[in-house]
Structure formats: C-alpha cells, structure tokens
C-alpha cells in the first residue's frame, strides 16, 4: 500500500496556515500580521506610520503652544487695561486742584495696579512662565525682597515650536517685548547712550551689554561673555543716586551699531509712587516742583510703555495666526496619511469572503479524501 499520510499532513498544514491568515485579516482588517509576509508592503506601512506619529507630535505641540499664546493674549489685554488706568490716575494726579492727601490716595491705587501688573507678567501655564524668553522655568519678573525693585529675569530670545518636519516658528513674546520700553537709543549719528544699572542694554543683533565698572561687556544670545576687545570702555556717570551712566558707542563695536536702553515699567511706577509721596528713591524728601516734574514726565513714559505692549500684542497675534494656519496644514496631512495607511494596509473583505468559502470546500474535499483512504483494504486497493 502506498503511504500518503505525509502528503496529506503537508497539505493540511498549508490549509491551516491559510486559514490563520484569512482569520487574522478578517478579524483585524489588516493585510499583514508579520513584516516578513510582504517586506515591500511592510516598509511602506512603517514609513506611513512614522509620518503619522511625527505629525501627531507636531499637532500636539502646536495645540499646546496655541493654548499658551491664548493665555498670553488675554494677559496682555489685561496689562493694557491696567496701563490705561495708570495713565488716568497720573493725569488726575497732575491736576492743580489735587492736594497732598489726594495724591497719597492715588499712590495707594497705583500701588495696587503695580501688584496686579506684577502678577500678570508672571502668568504660568502648566508650570511654564509665559514671558521669560527661552527658559520658561525662570520667573519672568522678580521682586527684590529688600528694596522692592522689580527686575526682568529672562532673556531676549523666544522659544520655538515645530510646525513642520525641520521647520520651526517663534512662539509667544518675552519681557523685553512687553514691559520694557526704549528710554534711550544710540546710533552712528548720536553715539551717546544713557542708562542706569536697573536698565538693560541691547544692540541691534539682540546681544546684551552689562556694566562692569567703567566698561560695558558684551554677552551673546546664549548669555556668554564674548571677546573683551568688543567691550566699550570709558563710561562716565553724573554722580547722582542712583547714577546715570553714559557710554559712547562706536569702534569697538563696529561703527553704526544701534544700541537701546531698555527700562521696565515697574521702575517708572516706583518713580511715580515716590513722587506722589514727595520722596526720592532713597526716601529723602523732595519739593513739589521736583515731584510734579517727575509726574509729568511719567505720563509720557507710561504712554511709551503702552505703545510697546500694544506692538507686542500685535506681534503675538501674528504668531497665533501662523500657528493657526500651521495647525490646519498639519491636520490636512494627518488626514491624508491616515487614509493612505488604511488603503495601504487594509484587507479586501470581499476577496477574503471568497477565499474563506474556497478554503472551506478544500477542507471538505481533503477530509473526504482522507476518510475514503482510511476505508480502503489491501484487497480493494489491489483491485
């Protein structure tokens, strides 16, 4: 008798493997269970899945940044309103009919405005300070516990967010943009730059300059001290308390470089509060004429601060619009890749239905053959 068991088992194993394939594709709707089933198709699926994960990550970043920018937008709107109220109070204080007691009452109101602005500029979202520049873990503005002077802690950089593979856009605004106005500018035509130690000095490239004795030293955008040969020497001061320094910009650095003295609005508010209480920064009494001159001058400074905040608000709006357009583009690409992934890896259910029926018939035929073979005798086989 011819032994056909080995051939039968071989065919049965093939049918079982085919059944497993059809069952997997039918239940999951996917063509491939293992990458080795079709290496070319698997490589395409891996590529598409990688693109989907990449754009999902970009989408998440854009959405997070948009949420932060929206909070920043409302915060800047609040600060503008507070500055409007501050200017109104200053105009009231400059009225001839306002007496000393009235000015002290105005000082109380302005002190409250200062606290509200301070709280607003240190707004956080998910533990990140919105207006600190490149390092959102740094508190934007810090109050000295001894003097009460409020200073900007951040830098002149902006964080960036990915809007496309290898493409980034700036996000938010920093403290220089928002609450620090130009109190002095030096150029080739007018090289004299005045500043106080409480001010920050920036050149046209965004580098910061810091006083060291009678020298201005240059720090790059990363906060590193640069070549000493680029320093500006020969600073002078007016001998006042606190002193106002004067630097002559020219060579070095290269002739024609623009320098800006940045003064934050909190310093102006402190001057206003002192003037309303008729004292200087050290608490010494000042006369009415000096106090009134400071108040008149402060109106223009508050106006300048408002203009800078308004400009920063417009810039933030532009960046928000860029993110909005980028999010639409990312969503569109995600939709395309998801559709492509489904079309590429999806099993043909109609074809699977036909293959299932054919497999059923093949199983039936095979088992029927096995059954008949088992019923054969040596006599019948010889016949």
pLDDT tens-digit map of 146-200: 888 999 998 888 989 999 888 999 888 999 988 899 999 998 888 999 999 989 9
Lookup: tokens for 37:
């089933």
- CA dihedral sign, ordered 176, 177, 181, 186: positive
Place of tokens 């079709």: 38
pLDDT-based confidence at residue 374 (cuts at 50, 70, 90) = low
| pLDDT per position as a tens digit, 286-329 | 999 999 999 999 999 999 899 999 999 999 999 999 999 999 99
Evaluate whether 212 touches 338 at the Cβ level (below 8 Å). no
Residue 30 gets which letter from DSSP? B
Which range is least confidently modeled, 62-71, 73-82, 151-160, 332-341? 332-341
Structure tokens at 358: 């054919």
Indicate where the chain has its CATH 1.20.1330.10 domain(s): 30-182+264-346
Q: For residue 246, what pLDDT band results from cuts at 50, 70 and 90?
A: very high
DSSP type of residue 166:
T
Q: How many CB atoms lie within 10 A of CB 197?
A: 11
Phi and psi at residue 273, in whole multiples of 5°?
Answer: -60, -40
Residue-level pLDDT at 61: 93
**Cα angle value 145/76/103 (rounded, 5°):** 55
Spatial CB neighbours of 43, under 8 Å, sequence gap ≥ 6: none
pLDDT tens-digit series, residues 10-39: 666 666 666 666 676 666 656 655 655 667
Q: At what angle do helices 288-345 and 39-93 cross, to 10 degrees?
A: 160
Q: How confident is the model at residue 1 (pLDDT cuts 50, 70, 90)?
A: very low
pLDDT tens digits for 277-294?
A: 999 888 899 999 999 999
Average pLDDT over residues 355-362: 64
Coil, helix or strand at residue 146:
coil
Residues whose CB is less than 8 angstroms from the CB of residue 59 and which lie 6 or more positions away in sequence, other chains included: 327, 330, 331, 334
Q: What is the topology classification, in CATH, of domain 30-182+264-346?
A: f41 fragment of flagellin, N-terminal domain (1.20.1330)
Residue 357, CA distances (Å) to 9, 239, 364, 369 in order: 21, 100, 11, 18
214, 233 Cβ separation under 8 angstroms? yes
- b/e for 274-311, b at 16 or more Cβ within 10 A? bbbebebeeeeeeeeeebeebbeebbebbebbbebbee
């Amino acid at each position: 008798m011819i032994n056909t068991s080995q051939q039968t088992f071989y065919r049965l194993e093939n049918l079982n493997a085919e059944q497993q394939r059809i069952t997997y594709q039918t239940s999951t709707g996917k063509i491939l269970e293992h990458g080795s089933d079709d290496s070319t198709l698997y490589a395409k699926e891996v590529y598409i899945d990688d693109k989907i994960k990449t754009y999902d990550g970009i989408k998440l970043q854009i959405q997070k940044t948009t949420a932060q920018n929206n909070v920043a937008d409302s915060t800047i709107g609040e600060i503008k309103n507070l500055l409007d109220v501050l200017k109104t109070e200053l105009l009231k204080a400059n009225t001839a009919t306002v007496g000393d007691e009235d000015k002290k009452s105005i000082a109380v109101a302005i002190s409250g405005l200062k606290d509200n602005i301070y709280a607003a500029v240190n707004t956080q979202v998910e533990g990140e300070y919105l207006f600190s520049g490149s390092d959102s873990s740094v508190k934007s503005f810090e109050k000295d516990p001894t003097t009460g002077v409020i200073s900007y802690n951040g830098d002149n950089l902006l964080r960036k967010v990915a809007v496309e593979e290898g493409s980034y856009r700036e996000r938010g605004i920093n403290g220089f943009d928002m609450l620090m106005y130009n109190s002095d500018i030096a150029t080739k035509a007018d090289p004299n730059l005045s500043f106080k130690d409480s001010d920050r000095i920036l050149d046209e490239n965004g580098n910061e300059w810091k006083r060291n004795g009678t020298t201005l030293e240059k720090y790059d955008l990363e906060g590193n001290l640069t070549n000493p040969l680029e320093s500006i020497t020969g600073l002078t001061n007016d001998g006042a308390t606190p002193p106002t320094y004067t630097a002559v910009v020219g060579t070095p650095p290269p002739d024609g470089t623009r320098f800006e003295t940045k003064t934050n609005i909190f310093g102006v508010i402190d001057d206003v509060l002192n003037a309303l209480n008729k004292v200087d920064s050290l608490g010494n009494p000042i006369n009415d004429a000096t106090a009134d001159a400071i108040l008149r001058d402060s109106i223009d400074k508050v106006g300048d601060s408002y203009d800078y905040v308004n400009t920063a608000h417009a810039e933030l709006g532009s960046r928000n619009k860029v993110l909005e357009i980028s999010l639409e583009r990312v969503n569109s690409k995600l939709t395309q890749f998801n559709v492509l992934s489904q079309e590429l890896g999806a099993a043909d259910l109609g074809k699977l239905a036909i293959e299932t029926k054919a497999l059923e018939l093949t199983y039936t035929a095979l088992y029927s053959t096995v059954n008949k073979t088992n019923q054969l005798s040596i006599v019948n086989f010889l016949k």
